[in-house]
Structure 1
Amino acid sequence: MDAAAPFLALGAGRGDVDLTESDGAPFALADDQEASPARRPSQSPAEAAILASGLDVAPREMPALIRRVERRMPADAETVRTALIETRRRAWIARLNDLANRAGRNWVRRAEAETAAGTIRELEPDDATLLAALDAAIASRLRGLGPTPEAALEAIAAELTETGSGSLSADRHAALAREVAGAFGLRDGAEIDFLDAAGAVESRRRREQREAADAARSKRREEVQRLRAWERSLVDSRALPKLLGATEREVLRWVGQGLIPIARRIPVRGKGQEKWEFDPKEVTALRPQVQAWRDTTGRPRDPAAPVVLRPGRAGNAAIARVAALDRYAGHFATARALNRRITLVTGPTNSGKSHTALDRLAASSSGMALAPLRLLAHEFREALASRGVAASLVTGEERMPVPGSRHLAATVEMCPFHNPVDVALIDEAQMLGDRDRGAAWTAAIMGAPAREVFVLGAPECATLVRRIARLCDDEMDEVTLQRKNPLVAARNPVGLGDLQTGDALVAFSRRDVLDLRAELVKRGRRVAVVYGALSPEVRRAEAARFRNGDADVLVATDAIGMGLNLPIRRVVFSTLRKFDGEARRDLNSQEVKQIGGRAGRYGQHEEGIVAVLAGGGSPDFIRAMLSAAPTVPEDPRPLVQPDADIIAAVAAEIGSDSLFGVLARIKRAVLRADDPNYRLADLTQAMAVASAIDGVPGLSLLDRWTYALCPVDERDNGVARLARWAVEHGAGRPVPPPMAGRLPAADRAAREELERAEKVHKRLVAWRWLALRFETAYPDREAALAETTRLDRWIEEVLRQQRRSKLVF
């Protein structure tokens, strides 16, 4: 039997083999040695086959090599050689990444290194061989990024900037352009022309972005200085008698009546008091009214009465009157002209809140259904269609008009405030308390121009909705529903191996969801996943897999707590704590009820069960949260935020074209912290966008305000991306949609590639949102939709893969 035999037959008359490891030397057979089971009775057939191959194997490689050969038994020398190449491939990938980093090629991804290493057939390739394979892999990727070298260069440069992989210096950009030229086979004059043109475009872009950033910083400094100068000009109450020619008693009475506006209130630490300051220019302008005030009977001014404003720049009080956020309900003139009646329908999940409201909406001659998510807007449209009513659809990034239809399904932010209808439905009203989107629900409930307004939500929303009804002077009815079947806490924690068909395992991060999925797939379970980064289309596809029985277990974030109707028998929390954007904390009762309430769909299960994974917390905590009374919000005042009309009015009042300046003044002046009725929504992200794009020429103030409203992820460099797009828009050049380039086969996709595809999808959502508002600047909507669809299908296919894969999960 020779060395190429399928495996080494032990006890077949061969000599002894010395397998002693010495000084890290590779395992090898000496020319005069023969193997014998007598010397190594524990020697496995795989180890024997390796020794028989005559290949030099380092001791550290031997364990992994044995495992690979074992899976291929019987193994000849060529099989062992292939297994050894696979064993060494990880070191080659690390070496390629190191070589790329040393060369400053930060556009090289691990996927290219893996592809390159996979083409190597030598056992000990040198760096030149490795780099040649890497160059070929990169060239293939570059050609897949676009149909032309210009498109490919634009795509990869944007990817580097957007993903935070590192900005490109001018030299690195030129080096990347040379690689792109090589990938597309450009030579001689064609290559020179391409490199010259690419360099010119990049130089212009850098110059324009630098100039826009400088202008934005300059504007911000001016606005800050203007605000500080105004604050320094303020006076306290002791100056008022002289400014108005009045007595101190008269001044105090007029301040109390609201006739003299307070410009700024400064809390006095430790005393529970405030120091009031006044704008001397604004106070002096009131002097002609003093005699009329003295002639009155002392009645305070009606705060709802219109105020005649003088021309010119104003202090905070005048700005507040212009913005009128302290009289926000009056901002919605169409709704206030209607005799509205609000019906608040509260209840836990699975209580049938939407059924009656949808029936009433479908029976009306006109109406709208407002949802928190694009996915739910689609479901409302389908629910109306099932009742024989065709409805148009409007969301942030899509329009689906139905000619002649007088019904609309939309996301809450897209509520049409000027088109009266008979019935409006506003879902998930507990979102009123959400710090990021709560103001949109305030506006929708206050401004929905309908005679009948159905507001649906968890019991926790009742306090805020009642406050809104009072502020709008609307009649209000309340309907309280109970869950149709019981929801109970499991007695004991659930082990991962004890999950059953129909269970939903809930985690609170994408990483945890994918880690749990990987572990379950390893155990032979068929798994569907739902988390926030997935598009509505992919979420629905994954939900359908679970619903149809193609998946045994659903692993999801709290994204399932809103909208998806699923046949979940039992909800199992992987943990009872979550990071809420500021801190890691225990789940509150509303979260446990909202998410856990997805268990036990009525008509499919007699009861819903809520449990916790072993090691994730105590079942007693779940039991306490399920039985807890609805919590009262810490601050019962609804959130409000400015709209385009308010932005324009404040800008005119302060005489500024700076969006940052307008937002800063609104934040400082429009709604005081102790306003009894409203609180100002968080303007942090809008101000960040304003700071980045205030210096872009070619964009109006309201154009910049539209950019500030665009849904972007700051963790994904969203603000910087908006600034780059705004520069192109302002210069009159079309903004191309983000592209993902060539995608690997779904069954070979790494988690990194899945995450990258999800991020590109989110960028496309922002691009399509802007395309609906700036059609000329964002013209290639068909390409954006096609890329969105392609990514949806690819992500769906990746998640459908159920076999265990080291690369994927």
Structure 2
Amino acid sequence: MNTPNGSAPPSTEPPDADPIRDTSSPARAALEAAIARTGLAIAPREETALLRRISRALTPGARDVPDETFHAALCAVRRKRWASRLMDLTRREGRIWISREDMERAAGSITDPEASDPVLLNALDPVMATRFRDLGDTPRAALEAMKADILDTGRVLSAAQTARLADAVADAFHLADRAHFVGGVQQEAEHRARTEASIERTARARRESEEQRLKEWESTLVRFQDVPPLLHCSHREALRWIAENRLPVARRVRQPEGQELWEFDPAEIIALRPLLPEWRRGGPEVGDRKERQGKGRDRRDNPLPEPPAVGKHVANAVIARVAALDRYAAHFRTARALERRITLVTGPTNSGKSHTALDALAQAESGLALAPLRLLAHEFREALAARGVEASLATGEERMIIPGSRHLAATVEMCPFNNPVDVAVIDEAQMLFDADRGAAWTAAIMGAPARHLYVLGAPDCIPMVRRIAELCGDPVDEISLERKSPLRAASSTVRLLDLRSGDALIAFSRREVLDLRAALMERGRRVAVVYGALSPEVRRAEAQRFNSGAADILIATDAIGMGLNLSIRRVVFASLRKFDGRQTRDLSVQEVKQIGGRAGRYGKHEDGVVAALTDAGSPRFIRDRLSAAPEPPEELRPYVQPDVDIVRAIATEIDSDSLYGVLARIRRAVLRHDDPNYRLADMEQPFAIASALEGVEGLDLTQRWTYAMCPVDDRDNGIRRLVGWAADHAAGIRVPPPGTGRLPPPDRAGREELERAEKRHKRLVAWRWLALRFPDFYPDRDDAEDSTRKLNDWIESVLRQQSRARTRR
């Protein structure tokens, strides 16, 4: 029974009821008797835990326990220390494939309280044998699955470690020709190690060569004062031609005081001399944006001018113009040839932004729907089907072509730029501000070849979309929508115990989501979860469990803010701060509105409530952010990045087939830091992949660029795995799809197995992405899709099974 304030009443037991402090307690008497009888020594730190276990084992009135009970209690107390000792022993031996969970299982099987190191190590053998056999049907399959899982953890096996692992696998399968298997595996591992070392040496040499080449070119550059003599013109003329983008600035060097030093390629400048008479007569005004964007301008009669061709070894600014990075809108020729009209539809979550746009799309003869996620592309396709329109589908991992269909649902990165349509819809335009993916939205909005383009997003995106429309010369109509149901901040915080059916609890890491899930299930609550590492299929299944009432509470990361239809009554933040990849900071106004706006689904709940968990922060924080005006963006220059055409154009201009060299040139000076129109997107991962691929012989520039765009996670050693696949591809070796391994029964799976399955799924996503682009070298797509479905079904079942098991307990 609890007191009115929720605390426990004072204990009515006498003080001497505590067996730990009472020297005359039955438990202490039993412990001392067992120690005297068995001669086993116990450490002082073990005494408290032993007394508790013996106290629970004693029958009423007894003051002694059997030796086997004492042994079992002492073993239970020592299991944690034994697991730590096994960690030390196995890591010294280099057996990094043995997990903490394996060690705990081995420690749990030991019945000798004085187990020595050899006894501890022997206890691992049956545990590992079972695990190996669960990984595959054959020793080879089990070995490859284990190596892949190890690589996912960020570690790499040496050839000697691989041979030792192979020996353990062969032993688990009772392989007759064990020496032959282990020897073959070791030879393969040594060959792979030599290949990887050669790739790295070659890559390093080529990177150094490209850097030296760039430095040599930069050493030939001249300052502005040298340009007029080279061109035989006046300083005033040179300045005017630079402003008109006729004279390319090869390199812009920011000075400590903030000024910018301009440098020019003399060979390039001299090559432009024949054009000077035309420039002086008054050629087309390439720098007058206002005239190009005037009312009634016909882009077909007044096209954007082409940059002058001046040879192969040209400057970064010319490269930028050839690549259209400093005039990015001109890169999308089909869109520029159309008379486009943009309708910008903005509003908070639950305002019905997509309804009108999808109606217009369904009524058009041809159309395009672009979504931020694969899951949403499927939903767009289904929404069109519900309106009587069959649409094809294109995402990074899949294609579904409907013969005769003139509509396409796709992810933003898959936007087709060369096929004109009547209507296009682009969703979640606030993603323009995202450093990683924002360039895809810039390209889609600038390049979607639609006569009528609907851009949907939160109110924050309005100034950026207006800016992009200005750069394109497209007229914009704006529609602003309000929420269909009210949204309010809760007046107080919410305790974990007070969460009710229909609540969504928001955390900002996978670990925190699973911790909260475990805490709620211990209290008998039925829980669904949504976080980024889950596949779209599993996220949709979890959302359905919540919407149908099969789960009471949804726990999610901010992945909830995009792409799921959820019937949430109340959003509760478990934290009001998040780590954004660089720092831990307060949630922004837009984040609180976007995530909190999921509360109060129209037609299901009268209003939406946004609250914070007790100890997460103040209700006033949420109230202030919900009522705040949209935060003005710090930057209105849209992100841009090259595509394969741009990469090829730059490679031709610098006369190089090195992707690293091309990207190094782009990063170095193609877009200056203060370019008035654009900023370069974060290209760290493509650059890292290009750098690693430099040593792989046999791939052309386009193939390297394709690999650089592959969705991998380097936290799971994804780049290293990708380079290995690319090396096999270059050598003409087919790359088999990653397997799932044998999955344990869902009701016996813990967090480690769940995380392992999620990483295997990510491997399959990358493989399937490559299989669409290189089908000859990534065969057996059907097997990969079957494995993907198997993993999704298993993960979904794990989440359901654990919920039921916890509820039963």
Task: Decide: shared fold, TM above 0.5.
Answer: yes
> Is 2:412 aligned against 1:412?
yes
> Is 2:434 aligned against 1:434?
yes
Question: Do the aligned residues in 2 keep the contact of 1:517 with 1:527 (CA within 8 Å)?
Answer: yes
> Is 2:212 aligned against 1:229?
no
Question: Do the aligned residues in 1 keep the contact of 2:502 with 2:570 (CA within 8 Å)?
Answer: yes
CA distance in 1, matches of 2:573, 2:90: 43
Alignment correspondent of 1:28 = none
CA distance in 2, matches of 1:297, 1:87: 88
Q: Deviations over 1:591-620 (max 9, x none)?
A: 110000001111111111111112211111
Matches within 5 A, 1:656-671: 656-671=656-671
| SS of residue matched to 2:564 | coil
Task: Label 1:386 to 1:46 Cα distance change in 2 as closer, same or farther (>3 A).
Answer: farther
User: 1:43 corresponds to which letter in structure 2?
Assistant: P
1:735 positional shift: 1.9
> Is 2:271 aligned against 1:281?
no
1:177 to 163, 166, 174: 166
| SS of residue matched to 2:145 | helix
Alignment correspondent of 1:796 = 796
Alignment correspondent of 1:27 = none
CA distance in 1, matches of 2:723, 2:732: 14
Matches within 5 A, 1:5-154: 40=24, 42-43=25-26, 58=42, 60-61=45-46, 63-65=48-50, 77=66, 82=72, 85-154=75-144
User: 1:797 corresponds to which letter in structure 2?
Assistant: S
CA distance in 2, matches of 1:421, 1:258: 33
Q: Deviations over 1:322-349 (max 9, x none)?
A: 1011222222222223222211110000
Alignment correspondent of 1:718 = 718
Q: Deviations over 1:52-74 (max 9, x none)?
A: 99776846555545655677786
CA distance in 2, matches of 1:209, 1:567: 51
Task: Label 1:323 to 1:784 Cα distance change in 2 as closer, same or farther (>3 A).
Answer: same
User: 2:204 corresponds to which letter in structure 1?
Assistant: R
1:175 positional shift: 1.7
1:298 positional shift: 11
Task: Label 1:362 to 1:65 Cα distance change in 2 as closer, same or farther (>3 A).
Answer: farther
Question: Do the aligned residues in 2 keep the contact of 1:49 with 1:80 (CA within 8 Å)?
Answer: no
Alignment correspondent of 2:156 = 167
Alignment correspondent of 1:642 = 642
> Is 2:480 aligned against 1:480?
yes
Q: Percent identity?
A: 61
User: 1:181 corresponds to which letter in structure 2?
Assistant: A
> Is 2:178 aligned against 1:191?
yes
User: 1:329 corresponds to which letter in structure 2?
Assistant: A
Alignment correspondent of 2:8 = none
CA distance in 1, matches of 2:534, 2:412: 20
Matches within 5 A, 1:394-793: 394-793=394-793
Q: Deviations over 1:116-174 (max 9, x none)?
A: 3344444544444433331222122223323332333233223323312x332222222
CA distance in 2, matches of 1:606, 1:69: 56
User: 1:268 corresponds to which letter in structure 2?
Assistant: Q
| SS of residue matched to 1:317 | helix
CA distance in 2, matches of 1:524, 1:565: 26
Question: Do the aligned residues in 2 keep the contact of 1:518 with 1:804 (CA within 8 Å)?
Answer: no
CA distance in 2, matches of 1:543, 1:254: 59
CA distance in 2, matches of 1:45, 1:537: 56
Alignment correspondent of 2:300 = none
Which range moved further: 390-399 or 748-757?
748-757
| SS of residue matched to 1:571 | strand
> Is 2:190 aligned against 1:203?
yes
Q: Deviations over 1:496-515 (max 9, x none)?
A: 22222211111111111122
Question: Do the aligned residues in 1 keep the contact of 2:503 with 2:571 (CA within 8 Å)?
Answer: yes
Q: Deviations over 1:15-47 (max 9, x none)?
A: xxxx9999xxxxxxxxxxxxxx9x94x536996
Task: Label 1:255 to 1:68 Cα distance change in 2 as closer, same or farther (>3 A).
Answer: same
| SS of residue matched to 1:139 | helix
2:145 to 136, 155, 173: 155
Task: Label 1:662 to 1:803 Cα distance change in 2 as closer, same or farther (>3 A).
Answer: closer
1:413 positional shift: 0.7
Task: Label 1:374 to 1:20 Cα distance change in 2 as closer, same or farther (>3 A).
Answer: closer
> Is 2:246 aligned against 1:259?
yes
User: 2:573 corresponds to which letter in structure 1?
Assistant: F
User: 2:193 corresponds to which letter in structure 1?
Assistant: R
TM-score normalised by the chain length of structure 2: 0.89
1:765 positional shift: 1.1
Alignment correspondent of 1:238 = 225
TM-score normalised by the chain length of structure 1: 0.89
Alignment correspondent of 1:214 = 201
Alignment correspondent of 2:365 = 365
Q: Deviations over 1:668-715 (max 9, x none)?
A: 333222222222211111111110001201111111101111111222
Q: Deviations over 1:518-563 (max 9, x none)?
A: 2222233222211111111111122122112222221111111112
CA distance in 1, matches of 2:246, 2:393: 47
CA distance in 2, matches of 1:433, 1:464: 9
Which range moved further: 50-59 or 428-437?
50-59
1:491 positional shift: 1.1
User: 1:381 corresponds to which letter in structure 2?
Assistant: R
1:294 positional shift: 4.1
CA distance in 1, matches of 2:284, 2:139: 77
Question: Do the aligned residues in 2 keep the contact of 1:733 with 1:777 (CA within 8 Å)?
Answer: yes
| SS of residue matched to 2:529 | strand
| SS of residue matched to 2:269 | helix
Please tell me the root mean square deviation across aligned C-alpha atoms, in Å. 3.0
Question: Do the aligned residues in 1 keep the contact of 2:367 with 2:422 (CA within 8 Å)?
Answer: yes
| SS of residue matched to 2:252 | strand
Task: Label 1:69 to 1:559 Cα distance change in 2 as closer, same or farther (>3 A).
Answer: farther
User: 1:210 corresponds to which letter in structure 2?
Assistant: A
Q: Which runs of 5+ in 1 are unaligned?
A: 1-18, 23-36
CA distance in 1, matches of 2:31, 2:89: 36
CA distance in 1, matches of 2:581, 2:33: 53
User: 2:495 corresponds to which letter in structure 1?
Assistant: G
Task: Label 1:797 to 1:122 Cα distance change in 2 as closer, same or farther (>3 A).
Answer: farther
Alignment correspondent of 1:5 = none
CA distance in 2, matches of 1:168, 1:534: 28
User: 1:218 corresponds to which letter in structure 2?
Assistant: A
Question: Do the aligned residues in 2 keep the contact of 1:737 with 1:784 (CA within 8 Å)?
Answer: yes
Task: Label 1:47 to 1:541 Cα distance change in 2 as closer, same or farther (>3 A).
Answer: farther
Alignment correspondent of 1:34 = none
Question: Do the aligned residues in 1 keep the contact of 2:27 with 2:58 (CA within 8 Å)?
Answer: no
Q: Deviations over 1:195-219 (max 9, x none)?
A: 3322222222112211111111111
